[in-house]
Amino acid sequence: MIDYQTYHRIHHLHGKSGLSAVQIAQELDLHPETVRHWLACERYVPRKEGERESKLEPYKAQIMRLLGEHAYTAQQIHQRLLLLGYTGSYSGVKRYVHQVRPQPVRPSLKLVFEPGECVQWDWADCGKLQVGNTSRRLYGFVMVMCHSRMMYVQFTLSHSQEHLLTCQRQGYEFMGGVASTVMCDNDKCAIQHHDRHGVVLLNPRYRDFIHHYGLEDEDVHACTPRCPEQKGRVENGVHYLRVNFLPGRTFMSLAEANTSVRLWMDTTANVRVHATTRRRPAHRGFSLDSFSPVR
């Protein structure tokens, strides 16, 4: 650990005299990595009394530089530090690398939808429902209009193709019309194949279904595999269902579950002031969204 005067001496020699870290280290009888570390520090932070300097401290600037050059593993960085004289443990290097390594950021695009332009749907796992002497899995079909955030939910005991088509039809009837495009995940009941080049092949029955409503194959957009954020409107809807409606509720039957969720849609989900749009989905949905009529 250097003192305050040495810290400013390092920065003076680097800034005013233009010396490199190696030249400064020779001038002040310091390790080059110690110099590099303090050059990277915008201010001097003294070690607390009684605190022992970590063996890794003089090498932290070098670690940052290596991470900036390439996605080295902690093991590779440890091996390089050993060549520079590091005598500490690998675990210390591993912890520090995990702490400071830049986290990859997945590029995202904020989508803006016009009224009636797009609807997103997905299935939510909603726990279990006792049916007679059998415990059955309860699924929630969730549909969200992207412009208004108008929301439709229907519970089922299966997410088969028959249930999907029935729920989507009833969702259109609830919304009062059909959006011009549909966005979903790669549910086999709707998307038969989605290759790495983005080519989407619809399930034949689902193709007949959307054609009935005047849509073409290219009007159905399937998310890239393992990228659920691409249908963020309905992902948020599923989350809202799970945190606002489901906790603390039990149902004696599927009919009771659907009656309860319909009341929740009418009195809570679609009349609240949405946090993003600052409008009530029901008002925005029926007054501003333009749909094709349900046939």
Q: Is the dihedral of CA 270, 275, 280, 281 positive or negative?
A: negative
Query: In a 3-state reduction of DSSP, which class is residue 183?
Result: strand
Instruction: Tell me the per-residue pLDDT of 197-243, one tens digit each, with 9 for 90 and over.
Output: 678 899 999 999 999 999 999 999 998 877 777 888 999 999 999 99
Which H or E element spans position 135?
Answer: strand 134-145
Residue, of 81 and 293, whose pLDDT is higher: 81
| Whole-number pLDDT of residue 51 | 47
Amino acid identity, residue 161? Q
Helix, strand, or coil (residue 35): helix
Q: Boundaries of CATH 3.30.420.10 in the chain?
A: 118-288
The per-residue pLDDT for 110 is: 64
Q: Are 146 and 115 in contact (CB under 8 A)?
A: no
Query: Cα(14)–Cα(196) distance, rounded to whole angstroms?
Result: 51
* Tokens standing for residue 82: 């050993």
75-130 tens-digit pLDDT: 999 999 999 889 888 988 998 888 877 666 555 556 788 888 999 999 999 999 99
Q: What is the pLDDT of residues 27-36, one digit of tens each?
A: 888 888 788 8
CATH number among 3.40.50.720, 3.30.420.10, 3.40.50.20, 3.30.930.10, domain 118-288: 3.30.420.10
Tokens 């579950």 belong to which residue? Answer: 257
Question: Where is 175: in which H helix or E strand?
Answer: helix 161-175
DSSP state of 242: I
pLDDT at residue 50 tops 60? no
When computed from its CA atoms, the radius of gyration of the chain, rounded to whole angstroms, is 30
What is the Cα–Cα distance from 281 to 175, expressed in whole angstroms?
Answer: 11
Residue 138, φ and ψ in degrees, nearest 5 = -105, 125
In angstroms, the CA 46 to CA 63 distance is: 21
Tokens of 94: 């591993």
**Residue 146: what pLDDT?**
93
pLDDT at 53 (0 to 100): 58
Is the Cβ–Cβ distance between 234 and 144 less than 8 Å? Answer: yes
* pLDDT of res. 108: 54
For 138-196, how does the pLDDT look when each residue is reduced to its tens digit (9 = 90+)?
A: 999 999 999 999 999 999 999 999 999 999 999 999 998 899 999 999 999 999 988 77
pLDDT digits (tens, 9 = 90+) for 272-285: 998 888 899 987 65
* Predicted confidence (pLDDT) per residue in 116-153, tens digit: 899 999 999 999 999 888 999 999 999 999 999 999 99
Specify the pLDDT at position 126: 94
